Chain A
Amino acid sequence: MIKIVKRDQPSKTIFFFTPVLAIFLTLVAGGLIFFILGFKPFEALKFFFIVPIADKYGFSELLLKATPLCLIAIGLSFCFKSNNWNIGAEGQLTFGAIVSGGVALLFYDQEGFYILPIVILAGAIGGIIYASIPAILKTYFNTNEILVSLMLVYVSKLILDYLVVGPWSNPEGFNFPETRQFSESARLPLLFEGLRIHAGIFLALAAVVISWFVFYKTYLGFQMKVSGFSLKTAKYAGYKGKKMIILVFLISGACAGLAGVGEITGPIGQLHREVSPDYGFTAIIVAFLGRLHPVGIIFASLVVAITYLGAETAQIFMQIPKYTGQVFQGMILFFLLASDYLLFFKFKFIGSKK
């Protein structure tokens, strides 16, 4: 007989093992879905997860997609650790892209070393401004941050749409919904000839290092941990709750805004309608899969980035619809949450009868 017993303490080994289990289960379920759709499961999985990153170009594309995911997820981990549900990173990314793109357009016919830092800073500020809306409404007006941050995603995309179709559209662009090309000085440099991976990856790595330091070496990190664990305890300890809520929102807004900068000043070099293929939402999954741990998030962002590439390759080679990527992302989160059950409960075998 099998009995389910509650663990005295959540298991630490299992804490970092369940993400791997979740990925494995996702592959099995994914194979099953491909089978139902009439594809050979192993071949489909190969096209989805191995073919896209088998060469140098593929690997560069992987890093290109993982960069914004990692950056945003790091920011979100500040919020999630302290029990703040910012799910509007997609909007903060978009608004960051709008502000930095606007600044880059001011300098479109100029060159100079000072332009790029200003553009990057503008993106971070854009993200901060946008994240401050749900933060302030939550702290001072008691408004649900989940709904506000999400509504703002739709608003940001409409603002972007208005700008690239209307006032900011390229005057020589034959009415295409896009702006002028930014000047070379406003672009994040590409790292290798012929590959699209750009210097934005260093922003992501810097965020990883800084967040690790804040989480584990500062008082703020400790406060966040306590607040996430129990708001009552945090209040009892006399932490300034409101200040911390606003701060974590601003940090995650800045990260999302920077991801937006990377998207428009990297390989593309202009603003257009679709600055992000839902990186802001996918990064929520990355943050959880990485267990809100900076290093975990690096690995998680690489794994989840494959679903983007895999969806594209599978579409080209096997005519599998590209939305399979999203299906995989949803499944990863389902399986991860489900396997968390093992954290708190264990199966005990009693007796010899089976």
Chain B
Amino acid sequence: MIIDINFVGLIIASIMASAVPLILASCGELITERSGVLNLGVEGMMIIGAISGFALMTITGSLIIAVFGAMLAGVLISTIFAFLTQTLITNHVATGLALTIFGIGISAMIGKNFVGIPGKEFPVLFEGLKDTIPLLSPILFGHSIVFYFAFALPFITSYFLKKTKIGLIVRAVGDSPESASNQGINVRLVRYACILYGGAMCGLAGAYLSMIYTPQWIENMTGGRGWIALALVVFSTWNPIKILIGALIFGGLTIIQFHMQAIGVRIPVQFLTALPYIVTIIVLVVISRDSRKIRLSTPSSLGKSFHKDN
């Protein structure tokens, strides 16, 4: 059997493409969680980003407005979460769930008029280099700018958290809000910023789905990716580089599923579709079994409200 080396490259590239929304959303959520805030509304913010991006693209015709508009929509919806959890000191879990329910509802409401409209072609970079190097070309070239950004993001995030002053502040706020506050850091402000940043990244992840990955609007098109992104943050033990690995594994599961159907493996399609969810559970179990390791890497104040009496 001859395996076409470029075909292998194409499969790897498609795995990477399906990992993009997971990387974006997880890296955003990772910053939010590093500041001590657990936002379970990832799915809701992603779907809002998806419909906003698609709607703006259809209405304005501008891809730039659409991409940034989707990020802004993510920021706006996460502002609700930030206001509730930070200013009104509500429970993070319940507020995040409300955000997801609300987001799915409102996206379907807005999206009603956009069902069945074909998307636009999103420009790709380095198109001309596509046939230059065997195997590597399809992996490296001919992708959207969001794709390249997503694969740079874990490294940027890691650098930000480890090497910059603001990154240090974010970690301090997440690990010990009391002492950070005593040092004169405005805990609430930092957390607001981290929540809104997470919203922007989830918005972008959603826009990638509806504008680039499958350029159309389908109700509920995020299909649980937001929850898998949340699981990836735990999987990574709050380390951005490991998010990259996790997202590629899940991307791989999604793609393998298609190929197994294509070559006629006689496994029910529903089982293959369920695979990413089942693997998520197994991975979570394996990672969390070592409770000491989890405790050491979890931001200490994750999910706990902080209120300064004055």
Contact = CB atoms under 8 A, between A and B. Distances in A.
Interface in A5-24: 6
A323 B94 contact: no
B95 to A, nearest CB: 6
Given A87-B97, A147-B234, A330-B102, A154 B224 contact: yes
Contacts of B108: 321, 323, 326
Q: Pick the 4 closest A-B CB pairs, nearest first.
A: A330-B102, A326-B105, A333-B98, A323-B108
B164 interface: no
A154 to B, nearest CB: 5
A327 interface: yes
Interface string A30-63: 0000000000000000000000000000000000
Nearest to A150: B227
Contact of A333 (B101, B227, B234, B285): B101
Contacts of B102: 326-327, 329-331, 333-334
Interface stretch (A114-122, A135-143, A199-207, A214-222): A135-143
B88 A338 contact: yes
Interface string A329-354: 11101100110110010000000000
B247 to A, nearest CB: 16
Interface stretch (B10-18, B199-207, B272-280): B272-280
Given A151-B281, A334-B80, A337-B84, A324 B231 contact: no
A155 interface: yes
Interface in A138-173: 141-144, 146-148, 150-152, 154-155, 158-159, 161-162, 165-166
A219 B309 CA distance: 36
Size class of the contact patch on chain B: 35 or more
Interface stretch (B20-28, B126-134, B288-296): B288-296
Contacts of A165: 270
Given A137-B281, A147-B234, A159-B270, A330 B101 contact: yes
A133 B89 CA distance: 32
A147 B231 contact: yes
Nearest to B99: A330
A144 B288 contact: yes
A338 B109 CA distance: 24
Interface of A: 6, 85, 87, 133, 137, 141-144, 146-148, 150-152, 154-155, 158-159, 161-162, 165-166, 281-282, 284-285, 288, 321, 323-331, 333-334, 337-338, 340-341, 344
B281 A330 contact: no
B144 interface: no
A147 B280 contact: yes
A158 B285 contact: no
A333 B95 CA distance: 8
Interface in B79-130: 80, 84, 88-91, 93-95, 97-99, 101-106, 108-109, 112
Nearest to B96: A146
A141 B288 contact: yes
B244 interface: no
A154 B105 contact: no
Contacts of A329: 101-102, 105
Given A331-B102, A337-B84, A147 B284 contact: yes
Nearest to A160: B270
7 contacts: A148-B281, A326-B101, A330-B101, A330-B103, A333-B97, A334-B80, A337-B88
Nearest to B284: A143
A158 B270 contact: yes
Nearest to A324: B109
Given A144-B234, A154-B277, A341 B88 contact: yes
Contact of B273 (A142, A148, A158): A158
A340 B281 contact: no
Given A147-B234, A151-B277, A341-B88, 8 more contacts: A148-B281, A151-B280, A152-B277, A321-B112, A323-B112, A325-B105, A326-B105, A333-B94
Contacts of B243: none
Nearest to B112: A321
Contacts of A333: 94, 97-98, 101-102
A337 B53 CA distance: 29
Q: Which of A144, A151, A281, A324 has the most CB of B within 10 A?
A: A151
A85 B94 CA distance: 9
Nearest to A85: B93
A344 B305 CA distance: 13
Contacts of A324: 105, 109
Given A158-B270, A158-B274, A162-B268, A344 B89 contact: yes
B90 A337 contact: yes
A292 to B, nearest CB: 12
A334 B98 contact: yes
B46 interface: no
Nearest to B235: A147
A6 B308 CA distance: 11
Contacts of B195: none
